[in-house]
């Protein structure tokens, strides 16, 4: 496994860091307070090549690989997790279309995603009654002359109200269970596609989370992505990669909170000495630093396997499980080090504490990650 970034990976990481510090940091707190979606910021990230880090060059991407993508996402999340999650989903949608789309689909959709022209991509899989169990979805795709008519409701869709391109999953054969799921490409603003509501969330206020209603949305046969009945496989493939993205996001949030705790512990005095010199505080920060590095290594392992074209599903599940669970603990420690100040909006650890919580839920809950890992271990034992 590669432990040290290459020069190209360092360049992409540095580009993301500089953009985050220059462009995102000054307005991150205001974006959280006002709930402003980062339209212009995403377009600028597209111009920098950060919306398609692992997308082929002939489609406008950087083809820099999964490790570079992970490092870049960590830098963005360290400053503003709301922007990072929009970047993560857009990359995921662009990668999926680039990997399995027809030449016409690749040309029609991917360049707009990676350039920022489409603003964002959306992954419309979850439904009010079908989150961790996609086979329970109720959205129906009915065959019509020359295409399909989509009807149903999607829930918890990141950037769903802003996305220029959406991958929408629907049942094309109710009797076939998960083998009856098909993925469709839908343009944002398509007739019949409306926003049911925007969720008011605990964190990630700068990222919109939409309920989408599809009321007879019509698409052509050329909108089918990956073949009729092949949608479940595509969803699982995309989610495996997406888990590397969410692990990276969690690590970035935790690193930002921990570095804030370092600074505060070095400045704040209690009983005549800085907090760093109190053993209880030092032990907390030592544990947090160790967990952060362990999470990074697990995430880089999964990214390395994916980049090498090897199986990485179990490793991605381990990375997401560990990184998100420990990131939550790290943010809690960072807030505790700040004492009462950490509970106020005057310090960024309060926002980190709220933002990191959802990383244990989306792209597969911690419970689902444990299920994936346990099944993998059982399969190995039975061989």
Note the pLDDT tens digit of each residue in 205-226. Answer: 999 999 999 999 999 999 999 9
- Return the pLDDT at 269: 63
Instruction: Tell me what the pLDDT averaged over the chain comes to.
Output: 95
Q: If pLDDT is split at 50, 70 and 90, which confidence band does 382 have?
A: confident
Catalytically active residues are: 363
Question: What residue spans of the chain are helical by DSSP H?
Answer: 7-19, 25-34, 39-47, 66-79, 81-100, 103-115, 231-267, 279-307, 313-338, 349-356, 366-382
Domains in the chain: boundaries: 7-119, 122-229, 232-382
Backbone phi, then psi, for 193, in 5-degree steps? -100, 115
- Return the pLDDT at 21: 98
- Return the pLDDT at 87: 97
| Fold assignment, 7-119 | Butyryl-Coa Dehydrogenase, subunit A; domain 1 (1.10.540)
User: Residue 373's CB: how many other CB atoms inside 10 A?
Assistant: 16
User: Residue 270's CB: how many other CB atoms inside 10 A?
Assistant: 11
Note the pLDDT tens digit of each residue in 194-206. Answer: 999 999 999 999 9
Note the pLDDT tens digit of each residue in 224-275. Answer: 999 999 999 999 999 999 999 999 999 999 999 999 999 988 777 676 677 7
Answer yes or no: is pLDDT of 1 > 80: no
Q: If pLDDT is split at 50, 70 and 90, which confidence band does 380 have?
A: confident
Residue entry with tokens 């926002």: 351
Give the integer Cα–Cα distance in Å for 18 and 283: 31
Mark residue 315 as left, alpha or beta (left: phi above 0; alpha: psi -120 to 50; beta: remaining): alpha
Answer yes or no: is pLDDT of 37 > 80: yes
Question: CA–CA distance from 369 to each of 129, 215, 318, 323, 379 (Å)?
Answer: 20, 33, 7, 12, 15
Residue entry with tokens 């804030």: 260
Note the pLDDT tens digit of each residue in 302-346. Answer: 999 999 999 999 999 999 999 999 999 999 999 999 999 999 999
Answer yes or no: is pLDDT of 78 > 70: yes
Answer yes or no: is pLDDT of 356 > 80: yes
Domain 232-382 falls under CATH 1.20.140.10: yes
Q: Which DSSP string do the residues of 204-270 spell out, in sequence order?
A: -TTS-EEEEEEEEEEEEGGGEES-TT-HHHHHHHHHHHHHHHHHHHHHHHHHHHHHHHHHHHHH-EE
- Write the class of the CATH domain 122-229: mainly beta
Note the pLDDT tens digit of each residue in 111-165. Answer: 999 999 999 999 999 999 877 777 789 999 999 999 999 999 999 999 999 999 9
Q: 177: which residues sit within 8 A by CB, 6+ positions away?
A: 135
The stretch 28-50 carries a mean pLDDT of 97
Q: Is pLDDT larger for residue 44 or for residue 175?
A: 44
């Amino acid at each position: 496994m590669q432990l040290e970034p290459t020069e190209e990976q360092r360049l992409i990481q540095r580009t993301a860091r500089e953009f985050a510090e220059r462009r995102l940091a000054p307005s991150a707190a205001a974006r959280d307070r006002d709930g402003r979606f980062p339209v212009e910021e995403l377009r600028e990230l597209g111009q920098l090549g950060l919306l398609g880090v692992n997308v082929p060059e002939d489609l406008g991407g950087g083809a820099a690989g999964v490790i570079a993508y992970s490092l870049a996402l960590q830098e963005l999340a360290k400053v503003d997790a709301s922007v990072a999650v929009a970047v993560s989903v857009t990359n995921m949608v662009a990668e999926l279309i680039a990997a399995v789309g027809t030449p016409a689909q690749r040309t029609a959709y991917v360049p707009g995603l990676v350039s920022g022209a489409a603003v964002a991509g959306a992954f419309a899989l979850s439904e009010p009654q079908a989150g961790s169990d996609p086979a329970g979805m109720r959205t129906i795709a009915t065959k019509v002359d020359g295409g399909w008519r989509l009807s149903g409701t999607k829930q918890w869709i990141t950037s769903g109200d802003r996305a220029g391109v959406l991958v929408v999953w629907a049942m094309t054969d109710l009797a076939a269970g998960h083998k009856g799921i098909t993925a469709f490409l839908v343009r944002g603003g398509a007739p019949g596609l409306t926003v049911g509501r925007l969720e008011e969330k605990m964190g990630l206020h700068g990222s919109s989370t939409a309920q989408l209603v599809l009321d007879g949305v019509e698409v052509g046969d050329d909108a089918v992505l990956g073949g009729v009945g092949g949608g479940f496989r595509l969803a699982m493939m995309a989610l495996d990669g997406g888990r590397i993205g969410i692990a990276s996001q969690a690590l970035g949030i935790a690193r930002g909170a921990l570095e804030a705790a370092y600074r505060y512990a070095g400045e704040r005095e209690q009983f005549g000495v800085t907090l760093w010199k109190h053993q209880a505080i030092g032990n907390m920060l030592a544990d947090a630093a160790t967990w952060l590095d362990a999470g990074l290594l697990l995430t880089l392992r999964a990214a390395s396997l994916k980049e090498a074209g090897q199986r990485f599903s179990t490793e991605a599940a381990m990375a997401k499980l560990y990184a998100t669970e420990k990131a939550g603990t790290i943010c809690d420690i960072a807030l505790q080090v700040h004492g009462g100040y950490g509970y106020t909006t005057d310090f960024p650890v309060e926002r980190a504490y709220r933002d990191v919580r959802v990383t244990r839920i989306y792209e597969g809950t911690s419970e689902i990650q444990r299920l994936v890992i346990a099944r993998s271990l059982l399969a190995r034992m039975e061989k």
